[in-house]
Structure 1
Amino acid sequence: MRQGQHLRGLALIAALSAALLAASPAAAEDFTVHATEIAETKAVFGQVESRTVVPARARIGGTVREIHVTEGSEVEKGEPVALVVDDKIALELNAAQARIEALNSELENARAELDRAQRLIEGGYATQSRLDQAKTAYDVVVNQVAASKSEKAVIEQRAKEGEVLAPETGRVLTVPVTPGSVVLAGETVARIASGHYYLRLSLPERHASEIVEGDSVSIGRRGLTPADAGEEADQRTGRVVKVYPEIADGRVIADVEVGGLGDYFVNERTLVRIPVARRTVLAVPPEAVSTRHGIDYVRLATPEGESDVAVILGERFEDADGPRVEVLTGLRDGDRVVLP
């Protein structure tokens, strides 16, 4: 009886072992290593620029009486930025008004003379020439009154133009004047960054042939050091939209469009990784790598069975099939890697 139980136990163990052996190949997958091309990137600093910077200019000369904005203020198109006052304009307005009042008095006299000449000629006591003379004098004064009113309207318009308006919606960069400053017509009162923000890159001349419009670049979060730029999760993607055809001082200039720069400072710098070349690498999925005692291993499937091979890893990247890790040494093109 004991011998029968012992035999049944051995049979059960053998069945379990067979099941495990049968299940192990089904639980593992093979990944065939193939050479693939990846972009080699270079870390450079991109400088935030505004597509357009427009000046808010004084339209008349005078003294700056009020300034309504400071550096960093957000302004809307047509919003008052400052007030320039020319004290002579008030005197010119008073003179124009006095001239109009004097001409109005002359107009009353001319109208009275015309009416008198009209009545006299109707009674036969005056000639037609006198009537024509009175009518001409009346018309001259009417035209003088109209001209004086137009001159006054021009002066009033000049007074209104003392208000300096924002030419576009944007952020104020600089305000080079202070209240009490004397400015001339056309002088800048404020500079406004009104265009869309972008990044301007300056790269060594040797990379000029490798930079292509439409390439994707990686932008780190705000900061000037790689540690400040954050991990990949903190990075954003931009696109090279323009490569300038002129090389200056051994540098090639490129512009990168990227969203989310609205709160950056103009001329602020941030870290950018831009592709400058392509190279061929061998790579495997990250889960294929196991680390034991500080050494990285990859399990290979060979005709003789499975064996662990020590490898040296490079950088991580994303391709069309998912995340990959570069293998610098230890693998060859065509090797079959066992995935867990």
Structure 2
Amino acid sequence: MKMLITGGAGFIGSALIRYLIENTEHQVLNIDKLTYASNLVCLKSIENHPRYQFQQIDICDKAMFNIVNNFEPTIIMHLAAESHVDRSIDSGLPFIQTNIVGTFNLLEAARHYYSTLDKDKKANFRFHHISTDEVYGDLEGTNALFNEQTPYQPSSPYSATKASADHLVRAWHRTYGLPVVITNCSNNYGYYQFPEKLIPLIILNALDGQPLPIYGTGEQIRDWLFVDDHVKALYLVATQGKIGETYNIGGHNEVKNIDVVKNICRILDKLRPKDYLHESLIIFVTDRPGHDARYAIDATKIEKELGWQPQETFETGLQKTVEWYWANLDWCQRVLHSNYDRQRLGSQSN
């Protein structure tokens, strides 16, 4: 099969492409604008593989029509997005442009291409839209879990634009018959994540002996999903998911932000002991506006229908992640370019 991946130089996209090249026989076209959070170094191990190719382009560009037509994908997996909540609060326009306008443009390119296919190729074509659990809003004060029927109540400009994109994808399926599947995932972590997100930010600050800033009291709860588990789920949905359906993907790891940070500190205390405990670096900072208190995914549907289960516990995945960043500080320095200020960004949860 031919797989067109948007946002393939980002954190999840690059993990997906590495998985596809290393574990399948599919051809892969990576489409990425190469924004601040994208880095082709993440794909160094497969960049010269004969089944892999890359084109630098914005998904908002009308040239996407020609790219889709010329590549003739069997499956489009759409991961390209602006995804950082704090940045969306500072300025929502890039999120509207990429997450809404870009998704619209890609849907139209896919619809035009799909209309040219014969019956057999139409039967195999899929448009897989990768989204987030943040579209569902906040579970504060409940023991509930997000499922595929949970109403949308996005809280941030970021989650609102992702919710908008989800609605567009469903509308193109209902109105035009475009064969789509949607996945909504919980917080990802793992190798090659841009260091503005909570886990890599805390690891790198701790390694530098810098303050570990935590929003509010750190009681916010997230369901943590190791990125390698996520991409295996994405591949299953793209190739075996039922057309028109949504699948929630979660790691079964609900952890408070403060406990995430403390766990990182304990790992580093053993990995590189200092004359102080890393927890002593923790500071609490003013919470961000509209900060959701709890996210949690019910992944029963994908587990029952497609047989997917996360392989990593939070403990094993976090250990691997901390060790990877410790061993790859050169990569971290390359992506932390001169106009990026870690301290200003504070301690983030997705």
TM-score under structure 2 normalisation? 0.16
* Structure showing greater relative contact order (alpha-carbon pairs closer than 8 Å, 6 or more residues apart): 1
More helix by share: 2
TM-score under structure 1 normalisation? 0.16
